């Protein structure tokens, strides 16, 4: 689950991480009122969407006074903001963050993520802030310093200090940066995060010298832990999420939208990943990840089928089922039920294997459904790609 920048900053502030003063607005008038309340020398108006690269798309603007804040808010609110993370369709801006602009002396990077290789939280820091960390990692990996946290003891003070020293900070900033890193780790653990990123972590001019603050922030959460994170769940912005993914979640299905044109219905996450890999191997592009699970009912299969076909990009559907707990005849009946409910106007390729496979194949062969059967995953992927190009 993702949240907006202003929400992430509110969470960080609750754990003692310093952030710029600011509030979110839904109208230009609200934005102007917030600016008057802040009474700053310079303001920044930032579009709030679940995507990075907002500044390059025109979604971040500086303002010298509340009147300019209102003008910029009028320009940004309601715009279809296109960034490298939104795709060409962009995202509609419904909110803006109005904040006090900071006098930046230096931009750094600080992030935390679950490292699947070590199954531990890994902290990353770099003097190269304000740019894509992926680019830094690819081109100059030596500029990223890391600390891996042992979950039995948690983040140790010496690890936070090593990161702070690794950022080549002045002596007076070592202690506050060490404290900020510790607070960020507490945020990560307490909120069941999967990613916390501050980019840039900025050194700014303060009233009594340089200060370090979270100038921008991004937080993702582990969906599997949301049952115990009710306050986090309440931050969900359904306007920013794929309607099919929300519908699938409500129905107990695992569905993720992708950019391709081959709809996939598979049982088991591993088999689903393999199916997408083989589709790409044969020159195709998957339109989704969809795992119907190991014990789905006929109704669930029909629902999954409707989800796939509701995507206008889908030009063919590949059903790849290995029957274990999920029996092949259940899948077959689900396919027939779904086709009755949805106007199927794209090629359908089905590969069944496992429990009751002969019964499942018999159900499909005796139906009037126009489909293509396959004997193996490779055969199914090849036939699906060929059906689209035919």
Active-site residue flag, 197? yes
Instruction: Give the Cα separation of 300 and 282 in Å (integer).
Output: 29
- The closest of 173, 151, 167, 148 to 159, measured between CA atoms, is 148
The residue annotated as part of the active site, out of 6, 109, 185, 255, is: 109
- The closest of 215, 162, 290 to 44, measured between CA atoms, is 215
Q: How far is CA 183 from the centre of its chain?
A: 23
Cα–Cα–Cα angle for 364, 370, 375, rounded to 5 degrees: 55
Parallel/antiparallel/unpaired status of strands 372-373 and 348-354: parallel
Specify the DSSP class assigned to residue 211: E
The residue annotated as part of the active site, out of 197, 255, 315, 382, is: 197
How many Å is the maximal CA-CA distance in the chain? 81
Long-range contacts of 17-21 (CB under 8 A, 24+ apart): 17/180, 17/183, 17/184, 17/187, 17/214, 18/176, 18/180, 18/211, 18/212, 18/213, 18/214, 19/213, 19/214, 19/217, 20/99, 20/100, 20/101, 20/102, 20/213, 20/215, 21/99, 21/100
Active-site residue flag, 109? yes
DSSP string, 16-37: T-----EEEESSHHHHHHHHHH
Catalytic amino acids? 109, 197
């Amino acid at each position: 689950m993702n949240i907006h920048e202003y929400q992430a900053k509110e969470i960080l502030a609750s754990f003692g991480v310093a952030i710029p003063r600011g509030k979110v607005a839904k109208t230009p008038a609200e934005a102007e009122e917030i600016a008057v309340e802040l009474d700053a020398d310079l303001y920044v108006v930032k579009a709030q969407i679940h995507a990075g690269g907002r500044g390059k798309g025109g979604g971040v603007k500086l303002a010298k006074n509340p009147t300019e804040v209102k003008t910029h808010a009028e320009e940004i609110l309601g715009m279809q903001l296109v960034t490298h993370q939104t795709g060409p369709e962009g995202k509609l801006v419904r909110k803006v963050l109005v904040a006090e602009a900071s006098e930046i002396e230096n931009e750094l990077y600080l992030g935390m993520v679950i490292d699947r290789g070590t199954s531990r939280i890994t902290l990353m820091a770099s003097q190269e802030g304000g740019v894509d960390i992926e680019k830094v990692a690819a081109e100059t990996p030596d500029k990223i310093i890391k600390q891996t946290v042992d979950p039995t003891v948690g983040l140790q003070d010496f690890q936070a200090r090593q990161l702070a020293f690794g950022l080549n900070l002045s002596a007076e900033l070592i202690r506050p940066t060490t404290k900020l890193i510790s607070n960020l780790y507490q945020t990560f653990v307490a909120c069941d995060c999967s990613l916390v990123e501050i980019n840039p972590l900025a050194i700014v001019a303060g009233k009594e010298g340089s200060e370090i603050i979270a100038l921008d922030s991004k937080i993702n959460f582990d969906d599997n832990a949301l049952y115990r994170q009710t306050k986090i769940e309440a931050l969900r912005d359904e306007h920013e999420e794929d309607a099919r993914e929300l519908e699938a979640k409500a129905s107990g299905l695992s569905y993720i939208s992708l950019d391709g044109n081959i709809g996939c219905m598979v049982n088991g996450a591993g088999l689903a990943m393999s199916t997408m890999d083989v589709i790409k191997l044969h020159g195709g592009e998957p339109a989704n990840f969809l795992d119907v699970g190991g014990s789905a009912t006929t109704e669930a299969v029909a629902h999954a089928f409707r989800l796939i076909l509701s995507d206008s990009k889908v030009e063919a559907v590949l059903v790849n089922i290995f029957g274990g707990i999920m029996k092949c005849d259940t899948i077959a009946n689900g396919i027939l039920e779904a086709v009755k409910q949805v106007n199927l106007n794209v090629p359908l390729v089905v590969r069944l294997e496992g429990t009751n496979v002969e019964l499942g194949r018999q159900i499909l062969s005796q139906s009037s459904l126009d489909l293509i059967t396959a004997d193996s995953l490779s055969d199914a992927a090849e036939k699906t790609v060929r059906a689209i190009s035919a």
